[in-house]
Chain A
């Protein structure tokens, strides 16, 4: 039994704990849920009502014109116009109606409303109405305002739009093109370095380890200006574009390198000495030991780091903005989303669908490989860094 479990006996009543965790979970989930629900809603409904009403249907205000006085039928002393307010328009369920735009819920449905001047109007939920007056109708058909409950309407149209016409599909491929090589290349390089720093004796080893630990926290901002200058010079010198995929792969590899070496060294240095020494006695070279023994044994540490690096490169905006172009074939998802925020301001059907496409890959990776992620976090922070 853990320490926390024994605290259980003396702590707060159980129910309070359950409820507070439930509330916290709901608060933490609601923001993401909001864009998920919104991304599947019809554009018109998004602008007309909050996403939390998406499943109950929302009340929208609409206007309709009653039948022309020429269609009135005389019935004794009264003149009557009948019809439906939904004629030639979309359907729905009328919740209330009114004669002024400021008060579309003045009268309840199904009951005769006295409009003055001897006029009464009854509108039923299905839209049919009876409009009567004790004298002939004059002028044009009367304008009424309705509060109409529209049924929930969900669509995948938003996703189709952003994937094709907004270039999010292309950016998705660009993001993959950046993230996958930028995850795999540094792991290989860091693993060899970590092995050398753990199991090989050479002068300056402690110094290099100290350097690596120090570099973990160096802010990216320190690197940007000189590297941008360097990239531009290399580009000019060789007559190639200064912003390229190769450039960003190397940049991401280098920026992830200190943490990669640190995490892998911690793990590899902890492997049992006997295994490595008996392999040496058997005449295996360091290269063979590394490939045949160290790599397979270090799988958990390699997995931890690759998840970190993948999430970091996929979610990165700054490095991509500096080292990668903003052209269609190079704009990554985060960059595209940032651009849409500027150009598509209030168009939430576009923004929410794009945002969800951006976050879906990391979320899948997260839930599938959470175990390794947690292990990596613990190795990276509890031990000392």
Chain B
């Protein structure tokens, strides 16, 4: 006789394994699609700065640098704002203010990236254009939009990290006569350090992968940015814009970019695992 309970348990186990199957499928399919360019063109060519498919040049360095610069810019703008907001929520805010700000952060997290990109295109770019007398597009505009996008991510996770710091720590510090800020700066923040690092890493992941919002304000141009206000490309925007009209080796090169992004995503999560394991060990 077949045991019904046993069957149900196994079926549910298979369902839970689907995320693993999903990620494996993504890795396999993207790798397979990226193989032609790796074998025929070679990694040396792929990591050069020359992207010109008609002559067989598929260097993706321009896009890697673009992704790097916009991500750093986004974090420089978004992370301090997010940390400030997280500190506000856990250390200072009266209950009602905390509720309002928490809801606000949730709403901000829910704004679709295409809408934020659209805002950048029709409001931010004209402003930058008028202020700097340049085209307006580029790293700076992308950084501002990315800053807005990573802010809710970092805030939420940093807030969770700060909330897990035991109240005793704060009381002990306050009891010794420290001011609230001394307590926050010397006791609470160091105690929540690894959680805050995780928050920033996840914010970084979001900034690296963001496509639409960046695509609308980055330019585009297949060249290194000559400054904060000159057009360039990132990995994601190049993929988005060329996937439609590409074929053969060029398309394979775009899949290679996807593979790079995929490996970055896996590395980031592995990094987070290491960071949080250290914390558990210290306890």
A, B: real partners: no
Which residues of B are in contact with A by a Cβ distance under 8 Å?
none
